[in-house]
Amino acid sequence: MSEKEPISVMILDREYQFSCSAEERAALREAAELLDGRMRDIKAQGNLMALERIAVMTALNMADEIIKLRQQGVDRATQVDERIRLLADELDNALDRSID
């Protein structure tokens, strides 16, 4: 396990300090850039808003995206399971016909 080191990221022109391992640095920077971009989009859409309100609106939008992605994953898994069941049934039927 590597040692945690300080890292600074900029979000809406404000500097934030975190500690993370060297392996986590790139992911933290990427997350901060994504968050900064989303928050800038929210800020550009509205009138003058407090940073807290921008952060909450951004968090809600990102949470909604995560929920939708999770549901899509569940839907895909259900579709794959159903397709596997259908293929297994077809295989069983083919094997039954070949035995007869």
Helix (H, G, I), strand (E, B) or coil at 100: coil
Cβ atoms 12, 40 nearer than 8 A: yes
Range of the domain at 63: 5-99
User: 97: pLDDT confidence band, cut at 50, 70 and 90?
Assistant: confident
Based on the structure, what is the number of domains in the chain?
1
- In tens, the pLDDT along 40-81 reads 999 998 776 799 999 999 999 999 999 999 999 888 888 988
- pLDDT for 13 equals 94
User: The CATH number of the domain where 35 resides is what?
Assistant: 3.30.160.880
Residue 30 has pLDDT above 60, yes or no: yes
67-85 burial, b for 16+ CB within 10 Å, e for fewer?
A: eeeeeeeeeeeeeeeeeee
pTM: 0.71
- Please check the confidence at residue 94 and state whether its pLDDT lies above 90: no
